Amino acid sequence: MSRAAGAPPAVGVDIGGTTVWAGAVEESGRVLAQVHRATPGRSTRPEVVEDVIVSAVREVLLDARLTPDQVVGVGVGAAGFVSADRRTVLFAPHLSWRDEPLRDRLSRRLSLPVTIENDANAAAWAEHRFGAGQGESRLLLVTLGTGIGGGLVLDGRVERGRHGLCGEFGHMVMVPEGRRCECGNRGCWEQYASGSVVLREARELVRAGGPYAAELARRCGGLPEDLDGPAVTAAAHAGDAAAQEVLAEVGRWLGLGLANLVAALDPGCVVVGGGVSAADDLVLGPARQTLARHLTGRGHRPVAPVRAAYLGPSAGLIGAADLARIEQTPQV
């Protein structure tokens, strides 16, 4: 496989609530090879998650025909709170990590420099550098997956906050005493606008057994737990009213949260990524309308455009790889 001259490739790993993606990435953002694995469950020991990461990195190096000494390092985007020194995952709501010294453990096992970053920060950086936010110096990214992640790029740098914990937008309390969240609070935004919500609402419609959900029931063989997000999105794109209603409701909650974030942060653009973004305007249309309707100062200020992420599920690994390359490459 031919590779362009320049900085060596880096390996990026994106650890989401359901899937671990790994890829070898060139300086241009081009992915040479990538693999994916199922994310171990929350009750799984941290060492098992590390096993999955190490296995994925080794396989992707093999697929890309790279040896460890041909890559500059490994970047890992972790779904959780990452310490300011980016050595430790302090807390991961969907994993078993609690004060996990992930950087040092992975570096020892892989014999490579490792950079740890919040997964949404990594995706925001990728969309800023190579995707839907190219040329925009103030970018807000919101990812809709198992939960809601968020990242900020301000003046061409990732904004991590004083303690490294900036961007946890999914845990803004939108409904006081609302639905219980996995973080322990009630009424968090991700309990009303995320991939998990799409599944919860669609499955409830199937369980109700009415004719309104007949198409959704057909797509899962009448077994609500077998219904997945892509099936709901496909039904909606095919014109099913029940699936469209579910996605539109998630879009309205998305727009409401975005109105708060845009009022507070005044970004140049908003990029929406994650699995739910595959529904495109079925979610983003209602989100844009709700944002415009609820943004403070509406009519007297620009409304930040809301764009679908360009890089899809590869954004996190691309951004993690690029951040690792920047950290490991001497700046002149």
| Residue 5 DSSP code | S
pLDDT at 96 over 90: no
pLDDT at 40 over 90: no
- Which CATH number describes the domain made up of 10-125+314-328? 3.30.420.40
Residue-level pLDDT at 330: 65
pLDDT tens column, 239-285: 999 999 999 999 999 999 999 999 999 999 999 998 888 889 999 99
Mean pLDDT confidence for 104-126: 95
pLDDT tens column, 295-327: 999 989 999 999 999 998 899 999 999 999 999
Which stretches of the chain are DSSP H helices? 46-63, 102-110, 119-130, 195-208, 214-219, 229-237, 241-265, 281-294, 315-328
Residue-level pLDDT at 4: 47
pLDDT at 141 over 60: yes
Query: Which two structure tokens, joined as six digits, stand for 215?
Result: 């198409």
pLDDT at 1 over 50: no
Q: Positive or negative, the Cα torsion across 162, 167, 168, 172?
A: positive
- The structural domains of the chain, with segments of one domain joined by +, span 10-125+314-328, 136-309
CATH topology of domain 136-309: Nucleotidyltransferase; domain 5 (3.30.420)
Mean pLDDT confidence for 52-71: 96
Output the 3-class SS for 273-309: ECHHHHHCHHHHHHHHHHHHHHCCCCCCCCCCCEEEC
Phi, psi (degrees; rounded to nearest 5) at 325: -65, -45
**Total residue count of the chain as it appears in this document:** 332
Phi, psi (degrees; rounded to nearest 5) at 306: -110, 120
Query: Which two structure tokens, joined as six digits, stand for 150?
Result: 């968020």
Mean pLDDT confidence for 3-21: 83
Triad 43, 47, 48: Cα angle to 5°: 60
pLDDT tens column, 208-237: 999 999 999 999 999 999 999 999 999 999
Mean pLDDT confidence for 70-88: 93
- Mean pLDDT, all residues of the chain: 93
pTM summary value: 0.90
Residue-level pLDDT at 3: 46
Mean pLDDT confidence for 148-159: 94
d(CA 300, CA 308): 25
Mean pLDDT confidence for 164-185: 93
Mean pLDDT confidence for 98-103: 94
pLDDT band at 66 (very low <50, low <70, confident <90, very high): very high
Domains 10-125+314-328 and 136-309 share a fold: yes
Mean pLDDT confidence for 86-115: 91
